[in-house]
Amino acid sequence: MATKFELEDVVKNGTAGNGNGSRHSARTHDDPATTSDAAAVTLADANVQEIYAELLKRLGEDPTRDGLQQTPKRMEKSMAFLTKGYEESVAEVLHGALFDVDYDEMVIVRDIEFYSLCEHHLLPFFGKAHIAYVPQGKVVGLSKLPRIVDVFARRLQVQERLTQQIAEAIEDAIAPQGVGVVIEAQHLCMMMRGVEKQSSLTVTSSLRGVFKTQLQTRSEFLSLVRAER
């Protein structure tokens, strides 16, 4: 029984409509009644909205009150959007947007706004990504860089991995002489809970190729990132 989650109440709620005063009396796992209940529904049988409704209940809320009735539906939709990166790939995004060029100076796109969810608390972290690369025969359509950021940001993330995945994707796509990615972000899990540091900015970077080996390239990139806007 320990592995079976009792979602019977919430499943009934989903089909039986309102007005049943007993629906808020959630059973505990130790309740002997649940072990012998042949109609018990496991967590795996519940749909996403039922799970969110149950979550609201366990937070101490009444998922049937006016303001919350549509909340499980909205949460499902919103969470699907915030994690849609799982269904996207860099290859799709870049399809037809790689160009052969003779240019070998630094290309930089900075202040790319992004929103992500930290994988530890499912709370937002958000900020700006700055991307630069020095081409080696190929460039990426400029509008594609923000889209590459979103492919990885719209997943459960940690900022360090997000930074690396963006750099790696550009490296794989166009094999440049080097690529640099800097991300500055604020984490609501730090701001709203825990240490409650409201204005702290977390900065991560991934520097590859000439951005790693050539001090001048690296300095140029970092000073462009820090320049007044």
Give the DSSP H or E segment for 112: strand 107-118
Token pair 């609501």 is at which residue? 188
Q: How far apart are the C-alpha atoms of 100 and 218, rounded to whole Å?
A: 24
Give one DSSP letter per residue of 113-146, joined into a string. Answer: EEEEEETTT--EEEEEEEEEEE-SSEEE-TTHHH
Q: How far apart are the C-alpha atoms of 50 and 59, rounded to whole Å?
A: 14
Catalytic residue among 157, 159, 165, 177: 159
Q: Compute the least distance from the CB of residue 221 to Zn ion, in Å.
A: 28
Q: How far apart are the C-alpha atoms of 152 and 85, rounded to whole Å?
A: 6
**Which one, 140 or 190, has the nearer CB to Zn ion?**
190
**Which one, 74 or 120, has the nearer CB to Zn ion?**
120
Site for Zn ion in 165-194 (CB under 5 A): 189
Catalytic residue among 88, 121, 184, 214: 121
Q: How far apart are the C-alpha atoms of 160 and 91, rounded to whole Å?
A: 22
Catalytic residue among 50, 54, 118, 157: 118
Known catalytic residue: 220?
Answer: no
Known catalytic residue: 136?
Answer: no
In the shown chain, the binding pattern of residues 100 to 139 toward Zn ion, with x for contact by CB under 5 A and - for none, equals ------------------x-xx------------------
Known catalytic residue: 159?
Answer: yes
Known catalytic residue: 92?
Answer: no
**Which one, 57 or 187, has the nearer CB to Zn ion?**
187
Distances (CA, A) of 210 to 90, 105, 134, 220, 221: 23, 12, 8, 12, 11
**Which one, 62 or 119, has the nearer CB to Zn ion?**
119
Q: How far apart are the C-alpha atoms of 39 and 142, rounded to whole Å?
A: 56
**Which one, 109 or 156, has the nearer CB to Zn ion?**
156
Site for Zn ion in 7-66 (CB under 5 A): none
Size of the site for Zn ion (CB under 5 A): 4
Q: Compute the least distance from the CB of residue 165 to Zn ion, in Å.
A: 18
Known catalytic residue: 187?
Answer: yes
- The residues that are catalytic are 118-121, 159, 187, 189
